[in-house]
Structure 1
Amino acid sequence: MILLMYEPVPEHLTILKEIAGDREIRWATTEEEAKLLIRNAEIVLGNRFFIQSLPFAEKLRWMQSNSVGVDIILAKKEILQQKNIILTCAKGVYDTELAEHTIALLLSLFRSLHLLRDEQKAHSWQRHRLSTLNNSNCLIIGWGSLGKEIARLLHAFGANVAGVRSREEDSEENGFTIFGSKNWKNQLPQTDALIVCLPKTESTYHFVGKSELEQLPVNAFVVNIGRGGTLDDNAVLRQIQLNKLAGAALDVFENEPLPAAHEIWDEPRILVSPHVGRSLEGPAFKWQSIFEENLRRYLTGAPMLHVVDYEKGY
């Protein structure tokens, strides 16, 4: 049985039925339904109710996530591995939206739009420092599909873009320099904008922390568009309070929702974007397409797309 953790639109359901043949397709709209139906499910599509219902799975062989990051699901890694469950993610499905949101955040920082909005509310004709993306040095931490899309858009603005990935040695890719683990920190003193778009794993926790932030110029900006916890939020706040960073825009946080009493809310040089970098309308059709293609591959024994490596965490 194929279990959907969402109510499918008719067009999507029709395609799934064509691919599934005589296999039964059911969907859960409540947690109670999910816990009951998953007992006989071989395949689960979608995140909703999955963590709560996983302990009741008896026949599950494959779970397709509708998220790119799977850190929440991997909190149950031992159960998934014990049951020999294949986990696939929706890698790349939100790249366009997240990359555009990153550019919007960067432009807000570089042009002080968030500060100008505060002046408008105060009826204050006050000007702020303005800078330009053109010829700025942008360093992207995380050279996956999202990092590459951000780089493409930044390049169109005339920015000098480089990337960072986990391999030890430096490399070149499509005209961009990609720094490895040996040399990437040497680039920080020349960086105008540090963009973090890392997956959340044990090895990426606070990947950018106090020591890295202290190496950035005082006029530098920091953006986190990846996963909360990969950037030390409190260290960012402290550097800004000490006037050792110009500002930051954070779409993800170590603790979400950001606690109402957190000091970040009251720091005008930090732009809070409450995990809204991805929209849920257009991309829905993309992740449904991934489900459909992976279902086709699973049932025919073909290699599946975006299989998660349990050891790497992505």
Structure 2
Amino acid sequence: MVNTPTVVVLHDGTPPPEMARIAEHAELRYATGDELPQQIPGADAVFVWAFRSDALPTAWPHADKLTWIHSASAGVDRLIFDQLRDSPVTLTNSRGVFDQPMAEYVLGLVLTFAKDLHTTLRQQDRKNWQHRVTERIHGKSALIVGTGPIGRAIARQLTAAGLRVTGAGRRERTDDPDFGQVRSTDRLAEHIGEHDYVVLAAPRTPQTEGLINAEVLAACHPRTRLINVGRGELVVQPDLVEALRAGHLAGAALDVFDAEPLPPESPLWEMPDVLISPHMSGDTAGWTDELVDLFLTNLQAFARGGELVNIVDKQRGYVTTPA
């Protein structure tokens, strides 16, 4: 038997595209954060398009029928709160949509650093002809912090480009199919200095928040470049600024920040060896359609009482089943 669920689409003023496909399978209500408490009563599910919204905890007392929340994001740290964590409501995410685009973005950042492309563009803006010698990436080492699907896609992409890849995660092992060796994030300061590139692709959890702090940054080799496409909260930002000023590492490419947009007064804007992008590493042409397609797949399963994909372990804060 197929039911017609009632779904609230939580958006930030711009609803998702192509929702006509969804409307064939559900009764849709649209709500901004302010409107969610009025729209959520009687709803079976919430499609969180505005994944940075903090409206769910406020609307939670009005959710009298809710059994499923789907996030249009791979990270769900901004959505989980105590009442949701302790409830039977199922939470799913958009794992799989962003893996390969983010891997390609990271490779682009590695090449930008190695070939000094950011300096080339700055010199072009000044009409300044300045010959320089650049680096190879073949044979360089990269530590990928985060061994989920995004981290694995990055590992495969960098390996194909000739880098030697190691992982860092919750459990140490030596036989991982994508990383080979995986080291413990609890001992990051002991081995971070061995690597030319350190890529952060872990979710934000109580265990990873503030993972890259002054102690870890001081252990970096002066040649190391830090790339963060995970969550801004993984890095203690003032510690990173001081480490860059002190020469503890050679540069940083940051796509995520603890406050977004990055405030204009942040010293990171003015640092020559820092690359800043506005949380866009996974956003490629057609990505919004892919997010809607994934939600539709889960919605159809939900309507017939089938098994949903990408179920988040609400205690850990990420999907624990194999991709």
The two structures have a TM-score, normalised by structure 1, of: 0.88
Asked if 1:171 corresponds to 2:174, the answer is yes
Consecutive unaligned residues in structure 2, runs of 5 or more: 1-5, 319-323
Label 1:258 to 1:8 Cα distance change in 2 as closer, same or farther (>3 A): closer
Show structure 1 runs of 4+ deviating over 6 A.
none
Match in the other structure for 1:239:
243
Distance 2:153 2:293 in 1: 20
Match in the other structure for 1:28:
30
Asked if 1:310 corresponds to 2:314, the answer is yes
Match in the other structure for 2:67:
61
Q: 1:130 corresponds to which letter in structure 2?
A: T
Distance 1:73 1:79 in 2: 11
Asked if 1:41 corresponds to 2:43, the answer is yes
Q: Answer whether contact 1:251 1:272 (CA < 8 A) is retained.
A: yes
1:70 to 57, 68, 76: 76
Asked if 1:277 corresponds to 2:281, the answer is yes
- What is the SS of the residue equivalent to 1:39? coil
| Stretch moving more, 98-107 or 222-231 | 98-107
Asked if 1:136 corresponds to 2:126, the answer is no
Counting only pairs closer than 5 Å after superposition, residues 1-314 of structure 1 correspond to structure 2 as 1-5=6-10, 7=15, 9=17, 13-14=20-21, 17=24, 20=25, 24-28=26-30, 30-31=32-33, 33-48=35-50, 50-51=55-56, 53-74=59-80, 77-81=81-85, 83-128=87-132, 130-167=134-171, 169-174=172-177, 176-181=179-184, 185-279=189-283, 281-314=285-318
Alpha-carbon deviation of 1:299?
Answer: 3.1
- What is the SS of the residue equivalent to 1:240? helix
Label 1:264 to 1:310 Cα distance change in 2 as closer, same or farther (>3 A): same
Consecutive unaligned residues in structure 1, runs of 5 or more: none
Distance 1:292 1:197 in 2: 27
- What is the SS of the residue equivalent to 2:199? strand
The two structures have a TM-score, normalised by structure 2, of: 0.86
> Number of residue pairs matched?
305
Label 1:9 to 1:217 Cα distance change in 2 as closer, same or farther (>3 A): closer
Alpha-carbon deviation of 1:128?
Answer: 4.7
| Stretch moving more, 245-254 or 208-217 | 208-217
Structure with the bigger percentage of helix: 1
Q: 1:262 corresponds to which letter in structure 2?
A: S
Distance 2:238 2:131 in 1: 28
Distance 1:265 1:128 in 2: 24
Match in the other structure for 2:321:
none
- What is the SS of the residue equivalent to 1:71? coil
Label 1:56 to 1:157 Cα distance change in 2 as closer, same or farther (>3 A): same
Distance 1:240 1:81 in 2: 38
- What is the SS of the residue equivalent to 1:102? helix
Distance 1:8 1:198 in 2: 26
Distance 1:312 1:298 in 2: 23
Q: Answer whether contact 1:60 1:83 (CA < 8 A) is retained.
A: no
Q: 1:4 corresponds to which letter in structure 2?
A: V
